[in-house]
Amino acid sequence: MAYSEELAERIRDELIPEKDLTEREMFGGIGFMLAGNMCCGVIGDDLVVRVGADLHHDALTRPHAREFDFTGRPMKGWVVVGKGGLADDGDFEMWVKLGVACARSLPPKQAPKKRATPKKR
């Protein structure tokens, strides 16, 4: 599944001031990580946002927002925002800021340790 490169570029522009930003292709889209914690991503033309369990219900009351149900089981603390909810720059910025706040509230993830290669005998 291809993802909207235009939406991904809007996210990159919004996240320019953030430190420890990385990108990772995942679930047929792209995810944006801050200190190893995903804050938001793009699947198709939709924005995926990590809002956290506390804001999950409130986020779902916003126009064009729905549960993130990628695997057949809704993921608490994550929402998907359709194209209509991203047309206004202020709404788009609000969603990305919610994702940043959630990711920053979590402890940084350590990079996975490399496994030692056994010595040849």
Q: How do residues 68-111 score in pLDDT, each as one tens digit? A: 987 788 899 999 999 999 999 999 999 999 999 999 999 998 76
Residue 107: count of CB within 10 angstroms of its CB:
8
Full residue range of the structural domain in which residue 35 is found = 5-104
110 assigned to some structural domain: no
How many of the other CB atoms lie within 10 Å of CB of 5? 10
Q: Report if residue 41 sits inside a domain.
A: yes
For the chain, the domain total comes to 1
The answer to whether residue 118 sits within a structural domain is: no
Q: Quick check: is 27 in a domain?
A: yes
Cα–Cα distances in angstroms (integers) from residue 79 to residues 1, 103, 117, 120, in the given order: 19, 14, 41, 49
Whether 109 maps to a domain, the answer reads: no
Please check whether residue 119 lies inside any domain of the structure. Answer: no
**pTM for this one?**
0.87
CA distance 91 to 27: 24
Q: For the domain that residue 86 is a member of, what is the CATH number? A: 3.90.1150.30
